[in-house]
């Protein structure tokens, strides 16, 4: 595929590269996001880069591009972190343990610092809670050994906790049959929907254009896409296009994405915690993981959350109803019985159905469209992408503007030949 040249990009788009000063605004605070439909008299607008999708991947990409001084339109059909998006919902885990996949551990170590810095820059409501994470194990697995090796190599604090000490520190868990715990204090929880909204709000505050509309590829000339057409009837022309459409990628770009992205259904549950018992709430309870299940303490009073892994039933992000079924509720209740006996009489407070956007190898996808060299495909978060948006957006912005990037990442994120 043709390598994009920054010089060529600037001449095509006519964009200015003067770095904008930040305004010191406070995304996440009270101010509503204002959808704008910027257009000229000809019902069209032109920007350096159009980013389609304001989830964790597209939102951060648009913000970094804007902070580089480019004119950027961020377009979303339903809004940043909306209820259908993979980045929607309340919370996502940020963990450094990734088995052998060291590139993601490295990214997370930098992501921790960036989340702290953005939270400070933006003020407003919290985006990042440092909860720690406790993995309860019956035996050592290859994946856990690899995780421990990589964490030790990179100097990430982690600890193996023997049963007596586990029982002393974590009386809220049923530890029958547990051989040891593995604890990582750096792990945390990110406020997902709030984070997407804060990113889009900062993007707009810094002069980016947010557009609430559904977009699809429009006219092209040879290997150059010229514009996207919007559901509002308008068009947006750009030098470069980033399609960060999460689970919608196969609908928006059917040819290159055919067989390359699965969208399995996933369910999450929130159970009540007793009013006078702090053991299940932040900061007294860590994130937890055990065979087939992971979860978080109650944060901001939402209840103890956990996600269970079920069969991979394909899910349509646009049209499928988001209702948990009786079998799923029953299994969630069994899980509660097994691991949190003190919560047996607590009610289910909330449940949620969402979908992953999984690539064939669970690696992210950042690649040029095979037929259109100014179109970038960005997605494949594969159930672990949210925490990385803050790094991936920077990486994509660099690729789009022709800056040097890590060759190992470029290779890893290629759109693979294999399909499901």
Ligand X SMILES: Cc1cc2nc3c(=O)[nH]c(=O)nc-3n(C[C@H](O)[C@H](O)[C@H](O)COP(=O)(O)OP(=O)(O)OC[C@H]3O[C@@H](n4cnc5c(N)ncnc54)[C@H](O)[C@@H]3O)c2cc1C
Name which of residues 361 to 390 contact ligand X (CB under 6 A). 379, 381, 383-387
The region of 1-9, 141-149, 214-222, 397-405 touching ligand X under the rule CB under 6 A is 214-222
**Binding residues for ligand X, total number by CB under 6 A:** 40
Q: List the structure tokens of 47.
A: 């920007």
Interaction pattern, residues 225-244, with ligand X; x per rule: CB under 6 A: -------------------x
From residue 301, alpha-carbon distances to 20, 125, 271, 349 in Å are: 39, 14, 11, 11
Helix (H, G, I), strand (E, B) or coil at 187: coil
d(CA 130, CA 191): 12
Residue 257 within binding range of ligand X, rule CB under 6 A: no
Return the residue nearest ligand X (CB atom): 381
Contact by Cβ (8 Å): 353, 322: yes
Interaction pattern, residues 7-46, with ligand X; x per rule: CB under 6 A: ----------------------------------------
Residue 82 within binding range of ligand X, rule CB under 6 A: yes
d(CA 420, CA 405): 29
Name which of residues 114 to 143 contact ligand X (CB under 6 A). none
- Which one, 180 or 203, has the nearer CB to ligand X? 203
Residue 264 within binding range of ligand X, rule CB under 6 A: no
Name which of residues 332 to 361 contact ligand X (CB under 6 A). 354-357
Q: Minimum distance between the CB of residue 207 and ligand X, rounded to whole angstroms?
A: 21
- Which one, 180 or 306, has the nearer CB to ligand X? 306
Residue 212 within binding range of ligand X, rule CB under 6 A: no
Give the up-direction half-sphere exposure of residue 127: CA atoms within 13 A in the CB hemisphere. 29
Non-local CB neighbours of 245 within 8 Å, separated by 6+ positions: 52, 53, 58, 251, 252, 253, 379
Residue 52 within binding range of ligand X, rule CB under 6 A: yes
Instruction: Give the one residue of 248, 269, 270, 335 binding ligand X; rule: CB under 6 A.
Output: 248
Name which of residues 151 to 190 contact ligand X (CB under 6 A). none
Residue 310 within binding range of ligand X, rule CB under 6 A: no
- Which one, 75 or 343, has the nearer CB to ligand X? 75
Name which of residues 56 to 75 contact ligand X (CB under 6 A). 56-58, 75
From residue 284, alpha-carbon distances to 130, 131, 272 in Å are: 11, 8, 15
CA 255 from chain centre, in angstroms, equals 24
- Which one, 303 or 381, has the nearer CB to ligand X? 381
Q: Minimum distance between the CB of residue 291 and ligand X, rounded to whole angstroms?
A: 17
Residue 93 within binding range of ligand X, rule CB under 6 A: yes
Instruction: Give the one residue of 15, 27, 188, 247 binding ligand X; rule: CB under 6 A.
Output: 247
Q: Which of 315, 313, 312 is nearest to 84 (CA)?
A: 315
Plot region of 272 (φ>0 → left; ψ -120 to 50 → alpha; else → beta): beta
Instruction: Give the one residue of 252, 262, 304, 415 binding ligand X; rule: CB under 6 A.
Output: 252
Residue 415 within binding range of ligand X, rule CB under 6 A: no
Instruction: Give the one residue of 53, 195, 239, 393 binding ligand X; rule: CB under 6 A.
Output: 53
- Helix pair 102-122, 142-153: axis angle to 10 deg: 60
d(CA 322, CA 403): 41
Residue 315 within binding range of ligand X, rule CB under 6 A: no
- Which one, 57 or 180, has the nearer CB to ligand X? 57
Instruction: Give the one residue of 26, 78, 346, 402 binding ligand X; rule: CB under 6 A.
Output: 78
The separation between the first and the last C-alpha atoms of the chain, rounded to the nearest angstrom, is 23
- Which one, 76 or 204, has the nearer CB to ligand X? 76
Q: Determine how β-strand 72-76 pairs with β-strand 209-212.
A: parallel
From residue 250, alpha-carbon distances to 83, 262, 309, 379 in Å are: 19, 9, 23, 11
The region of 47-55, 168-176, 234-242, 325-333 touching ligand X under the rule CB under 6 A is 47-55
Contact by Cβ (8 Å): 131, 297: yes
Q: Is the dihedral of CA 86, 391, 302, 267 positive or negative?
A: positive
Helix, strand, coil % in the chain, rounded to nearest 5? 30, 25, 45
d(CA 163, CA 161): 7
Residue 268 within binding range of ligand X, rule CB under 6 A: yes
The site for ligand X (CB under 6 A) is made up of 52-58, 75-78, 82, 85-87, 92-93, 214-216, 244-248, 252, 266, 268, 307, 354-357, 379, 381, 383-387
């Amino acid at each position: 595929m043709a390598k994009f040249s920054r010089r060529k990009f600037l001449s095509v788009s006519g964009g200015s590269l003067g770095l904008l000063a930040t305004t010191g605004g406070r995304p996440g605070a009270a101010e509503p996001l204002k959808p704008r439909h910027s257009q000229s008299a000809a019902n069209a607008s032109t920007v350096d880069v159009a980013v389609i999708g304001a989830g964790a991947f597209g939102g951060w990409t648009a913000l970094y591009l804007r902070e580089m001084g480019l004119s950027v339109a961020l377009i979303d059909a339903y809004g940043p972190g909306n209820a259908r998006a993979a980045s929607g919902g309340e919370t996502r885990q940020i963990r450094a343990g990734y088995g052998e996949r060291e590139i993601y551990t490295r990214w997370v170590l930098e992501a921790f610092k960036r989340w702290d810095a953005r939270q400070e820059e933006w003020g407003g409501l919290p985006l990042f809670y440092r909860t720690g994470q406790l993995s309860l194990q019956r035996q050592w697995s290859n994946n856990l050994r690899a995780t421990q090796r990589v964490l030790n190599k990179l100097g990430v604090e982690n600890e193996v906790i023997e049963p007596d000490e586990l029982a002393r520190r974590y009386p809220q868990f049923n530890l029958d049959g547990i051989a040891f715990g593995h604890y990582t204090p750096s792990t945390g929880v990110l406020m997902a929907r709030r984070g997407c909204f804060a990113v889009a709000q900062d993007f707009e505050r810094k002069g980016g254009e947010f557009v609430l509309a559904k977009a699809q590829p429009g006219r092209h000339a040879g290997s150059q896409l010229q514009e996207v057409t919007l559901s509002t009837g308008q068009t947006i022309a750009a030098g470069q296009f980033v399609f960060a459409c999460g689970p919608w990628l196969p609908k928006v770009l059917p040819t290159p994405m055919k067989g390359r992205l699965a969208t399995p259904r996933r369910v999450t549950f929130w159970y009540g915690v007793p009013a006078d018992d702090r053991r299940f709430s932040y900061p007294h309870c860590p994130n937890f993981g055990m065979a087939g299940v992971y979860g978080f303490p109650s944060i901001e009073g939402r209840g103890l959350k956990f996600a269970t892994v079920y069969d991979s039933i394909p899910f349509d992000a646009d049209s499928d109803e988001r209702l948990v079924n009786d079998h799923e509720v029953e299994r969630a209740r069994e899980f509660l019985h097994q691991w949190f006996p003190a919560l047996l009489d607590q009610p289910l407070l909330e449940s949620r159905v969402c979908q992953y956007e999984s690539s064939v190898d669970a690696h992210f996808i950042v690649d040029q469209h095979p037929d259109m060299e100014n179109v970038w495909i960005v997605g494949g978060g594969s159930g672990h992408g949210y925490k990385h948006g803050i790094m991936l957006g920077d990486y994509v912005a660099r690729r789009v503007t022709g800056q040097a990037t890590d060759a190992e990442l470029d290779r890893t994120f290629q759109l693979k030949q294999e399909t499901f």
